[in-house]
Amino acid sequence: MEISKKIYEEKPKNLWKSADLKHYQVHVKLSSPDSTTESEEKDERVVYMEDLEKRKKVYGICGECNEPGTGFFWCQPCNAKRFKDNFKNWTSGNQDIDKLIQQSQLNAVSCGKFLEWIPFENFKNVKYIASGGFGKIYSANWPEGYIYYWNIENQEWKRNSNRNVALKSLDNSSNISAEFLNEIEAHLQVHLFDVVQCRGITLDPVTKNYMMILKYCEHGNLKNYLNKSKSFVDYNSKIQILFRISRGLLDIHDAGKVHKDFHSGNILFSSVPFISDLGMCQPANNEVIEGGVYGVIPYMAPEVLRGYQYTKASDIYSFGIVINELISEETPFNDIPHDHFLAINICKGIRPKIHKSTPKLLKDLIIKCWDTKAENRPTVRELHQILKKWAQGNNEGSEISLQIKNYNRSMKQRFKNKKNIQSHPQAIYTSRLLNLKNLPEPENSSDLTSFQFNYDANYASQSELTNQISECFDTQLSESDLNEINQDNENNTDE
């Protein structure tokens, strides 16, 4: 008895038993697999917490408590205790933020579902990148990196060290705002591969503004990605991009939320695209902001421009504009002011030009997405399924193959002859507060694929509207912001 006890004590604790990496997923739902709601439909990305055998296979078994993990090398009960024991060793200086971080750590079921408080001095090479609608973005190096899992053998956190991150501040957040906390909570509630991940919070010692620590996307947003790409992005590559974006939007909608500010500036690129800027991401039944709506006019659904509640269908409209922007490589309405007159024409059915070589199947999908009637637009799940099929190469029939070849030929020629195009100085692609009044009842144009209008001629006949522009917008861009919206795309003309 003594010998066996001695052998047992000398034997090291069991480490994590290997997980089945082929089936490893980071997305975990706490609901029952028998649930029938749309957000809980069977999905290959979901491992249900109640399914113990599947958890053992996918996540392995904790070598300390001998229970199945809740995430890859992650044991929620064991790690919650470690985090709680460390609460006394840090503070953000704000009780609301401390509570948010602490609750995220106690409830985390995987390595991507919690926040840390990181002192600002832990970051190196902090550099200003840009200003958004409500704050500033910086890049930085994080030598220590974020927590990945608990190393049982060494009894310490294993971190992904030396990471480049983005630090996003919110103006005047020294007095913490609901918007700042809402965006952080949205990142925790909506997490998968296709949504920018928030790792923690820090404090700018100069401005005293709190900052989110986000994944750094080195290629910038969708516009920058296309403009700076040194290689031609063909049709199939673009479908892969759209498929990943649809998967991210599906996760947002499945979480019962609406993005509310979905445009190409909020789609960032690393090696793959990520949806970002969840600051407006709120429950789908939230009312609109009193006194106006936030957004970028070319991407906003007609009903939202008219002051109606944001819905999931509003996001689909915006996604339709993004699809066409990626396929045509033309920024929507970049040669005219984004003002009350444009909002009127969007309600009357004006849409961006669809490139003449766009394959018909995709053209039809785009038009369906930006239909004036919200009920006629596809759901994000339908979009996701369609794009998944196309991304897998299921383009049956010789006709669609010929259309794709024609598209690639046309766009490759455009890529070779790429020109620097100056956007109109009042074409504004950052989110701002809009108070648009007296807009007409939305309607579809008789021909959405070829609708064009002479802005200057029509604008003259609407002179009384110009007097309302200063009343419509309460946010102005700096010169540097205006320079950022200059595009390297062609004007709205076909090859």
With a cut of 50, say whether residue 287 has pLDDT above it: yes
DSSP per-residue letters across 123-185? -EEEEEEEE-SSSEEEEEEESS-EEEEEETTTTEEEEE-SEEEEEEE-TTTTS--HHHHHHHH
Give the residue from 225, 177, 217 showing the smallest Cα distance to 195.
217
- Whether 491 is in a domain gets the answer no
> Tens of pLDDT along 201-250?
999 999 888 999 999 999 999 888 888 888 899 999 999 999 999 999 99
- For residues 151-175, average pLDDT: 86
CA terminus-to-terminus distance, the chain: 86
Judging by DSSP bridges, how do beta strands 47-48 and 257-258 pair with one another? unpaired
Q: How many CB atoms lie within 10 A of CB 136?
A: 18
Q: Are 275 and 248 in contact (CB under 8 A)?
A: yes
- Whether 319 is in a domain gets the answer yes
In terms of average pLDDT, the best of 6-10, 72-76, 346-350 is 346-350
- Whether 111 is in a domain gets the answer yes
With a cut of 50, say whether residue 178 has pLDDT above it: yes
- Whether 35 is in a domain gets the answer no
With a cut of 60, say whether residue 254 has pLDDT above it: yes
CATH of the domain at 224: 1.10.510.10
Which residues, including other chains, have CB under 8 Å from residue 289's CB and lie 6 or more apart?
433
Secondary structure letter of residue 425 according to DSSP: T
- Whether 457 is in a domain gets the answer no
Given pLDDT bands bounded at 50, 70 and 90, which one contains residue 132? low
CA atoms within 13 A on the CB side of 356: 6
- 224 and 280 both lie in a single domain: yes
Give the residue from 421, 426, 435, 424 showing the smallest Cα distance to 471.
435
- Whether 490 is in a domain gets the answer no
- 329 and 279 both lie in a single domain: yes
The domain boundary residue, chosen from 169, 186, 215: 215
Q: Which percentage of the chain shows pLDDT scores above 90?
A: 46
Q: Are 160 and 146 in contact (CB under 8 A)?
A: yes
Give the residue from 197, 19, 14 showing the smallest Cα distance to 108.
197
Given pLDDT bands bounded at 50, 70 and 90, which one contains residue 325? very high
With a cut of 70, say whether residue 73 has pLDDT above it: yes
- 227 and 199 both lie in a single domain: no
- For residues 370-394, average pLDDT: 92
The domain boundary residue, chosen from 184, 215, 246: 215
- For residues 89-96, average pLDDT: 92
- pLDDT score, position 256: 86
* Residues spanned by the domain of 73: 15-30+42-215
The pair of structure tokens assigned to 180 is: 């700042």
- For residues 63-77, average pLDDT: 87
The pair of structure tokens assigned to 144 is: 């220590």
- Whether 335 is in a domain gets the answer yes
- 194 and 287 both lie in a single domain: no
Secondary structure letter of residue 120 according to DSSP: G
Q: Which percentage of the chain shows pLDDT scores above 70?
A: 73
- 61 and 168 both lie in a single domain: yes
With a cut of 60, say whether residue 46 has pLDDT above it: no
With a cut of 50, say whether residue 262 has pLDDT above it: yes
- For residues 305-322, average pLDDT: 94
The domain boundary residue, chosen from 200, 215, 230: 215
Integer-rounded Cα Rg, in Å, for the chain is: 25
Given pLDDT bands bounded at 50, 70 and 90, which one contains residue 54? confident
Given pLDDT bands bounded at 50, 70 and 90, which one contains residue 291? low
Secondary structure letter of residue 198 according to DSSP: E
- 96 and 138 both lie in a single domain: yes
Q: Are 435 and 292 in contact (CB under 8 A)?
A: yes
Q: How many CB atoms lie within 10 A of CB 446?
A: 8
- Rounded to the nearest 5°, which phi and psi values hold at 322? -65, -40
- 113 and 137 both lie in a single domain: yes
Q: How high does pLDDT run on average in the chain?
A: 79
CATH of the domain at 194: 3.30.200.20
Cα–Cα distance, 185 to 482 (Å, whole number) = 31
- 318 and 435 both lie in a single domain: yes
Domain count, the chain: 2
Cα–Cα distance, 29 to 40 (Å, whole number) = 8
- For residues 348-357, average pLDDT: 94
Given pLDDT bands bounded at 50, 70 and 90, which one contains residue 12? very low
- For residues 289-310, average pLDDT: 86
Secondary structure letter of residue 95 according to DSSP: H
With a cut of 60, say whether residue 490 has pLDDT above it: no
- Whether 300 is in a domain gets the answer yes
- 224 and 268 both lie in a single domain: yes
> Tens of pLDDT along 446-457?
554 444 444 444
- 25 and 77 both lie in a single domain: yes
Whether the full predicted model's pTM is greater than 0.95, yes or no, is: no
- 240 and 256 both lie in a single domain: yes
- 100 and 114 both lie in a single domain: yes
